[in-house]
Amino acid sequence: MTLGLYPGCSLKGSSREYTESVLAVAQACGIELVEIEDWNCCGATAAHNLNKELSLALPARILSLAEKQGMKEVVVPCAACYSRLTVTNHELAVHPELKQTITKGNGLDYKGSVEILNIIQMLDKYITPNLEGRIVKPFEHKVACYYGCLLVRPHEILKFDREEDPQSMDELMLKAGATPIDWAFKTECCGAGLSVSRTSSVGRLSGEILKDAADRGAEAVIVACPMCQSNLDMRREAINSYLGEKIDIPVLYVTQVLGLALGIDRKTLGLQRHFVAVNI
């Protein structure tokens, strides 16, 4: 089985352990992920904050490359990239004139045939049905599944999980042997793109998230977005200073947990790259 892959910029740099764990889990389950050749950045928050046309044209180039390279389904592990690509797919599909401007205007050819899968959708469709007998080291810990914003919102376009109290990651964690906790900050924002330009806000928002997870006894926070991971992990200093206490709960990608349960070694999954030591 072969699927297209759009890693996005973070997964090639500051969040490379996410790519490592996605590839390791896919490989262990016989799925081949092929990167879209010559992909570009999706434009992220910066593009849609400053220039609407740019925010659609950059993802349109990516989608047209995927289509040209014969990809039917493309896995997008980064929740922010997943949101930008899905929103673009949607906008171009419902506004034919806009599609004309964006594609023809930039010399792109895109019919709109590419299906975009976020990481949970990919795991649910291709990995979990074949998990039986493969979970050799159940991840027997209490976990707080943190979905963040862009994996579930807006539901009108993404049509994925529930916007309030989603369950898909919790179910996945159950299959990996973990015990997901009930908590209040599953879909609250971590501060996302303000990480550099307004670190104090990120300290507050991410701090509230981690505090609730810690208070309810979570041993790890599980994420599916590189921005959530880096804010909750790399910004721990700002978080601890906001909270006035030291919280040392590690923040793992959903694929790292699944990888551990499948018996993949910690280094292959990139656990040594985290700022907050993963001692579980």
Partner 1 sequence: MSAETIHSVIAGLAGEVMEHTGVEASHCYQCGKCSAGCPLSEEMEYPPSYVMRMLQTSDPVLEDKILRSFTIWVCLTCEMCYSRCPMSIDIPKMMDFLREKSLKEGKANHRAKHIIAFHKSFLDSIRITGRLYEIGLLVDYKSRTFKVMQDMSLAPKMFVRGKLNIFPEMIKGRAGVSSIFSKSNKKSK
Q: Does 165 bind partner 1 (CB under 8 A)?
A: no
Q: Which is nearer to partner 1, 135 or 275 (CB)?
A: 275
Which residues within the stretch 103-132 sit at the binding site for partner 1 (CB under 8 A)? 105-107
Return d(Cα 179, Cα 165) in angstroms, integer. 16
Q: Which is nearer to partner 1, 30 or 105 (CB)?
A: 105
80 three-state secondary structure? helix
Return d(Cα 263, Cα 266) in angstroms, integer. 9
Task: Please list the residues that pair with 34 across neighbouring strands.
Answer: 4
Which residues are CB-contacts of 61 (< 8 A; sequence separation ≥ 6)? 40, 106, 108
Q: Does 205 bind partner 1 (CB under 8 A)?
A: yes
Q: Does 15 bind partner 1 (CB under 8 A)?
A: yes
Asked if 113 contacts 70 with a C-beta cutoff of 8 angstroms, the reply is: no
Q: Which is nearer to partner 1, 116 or 173 (CB)?
A: 116
The least distance separating partner 1 from the CB of residue 156, rounded to whole angstroms, comes to 7
Site string for partner 1, 172-191 (x = CB under 8 A): ---------------xxx-x
Return d(Cα 77, Cα 18) in angstroms, integer. 8
Q: Does 76 bind partner 1 (CB under 8 A)?
A: no
Q: What token pair was written down for 262?
A: 């499948």
Q: How many residues bind partner 1 (CB under 8 A)?
A: 56
Q: What token pair was written down for 152?
A: 């579930």
Q: Does 69 bind partner 1 (CB under 8 A)?
A: no
Residue 210, CB half-sphere, CA atoms under 13 Å: how many?
34
Which residues of the chain form contacts with partner 1 (CB under 8 A)? 9-10, 12-16, 38-41, 43-55, 57-58, 61, 105-107, 149-150, 153-156, 163-164, 187-189, 191-194, 196-199, 201, 205, 234, 272-275
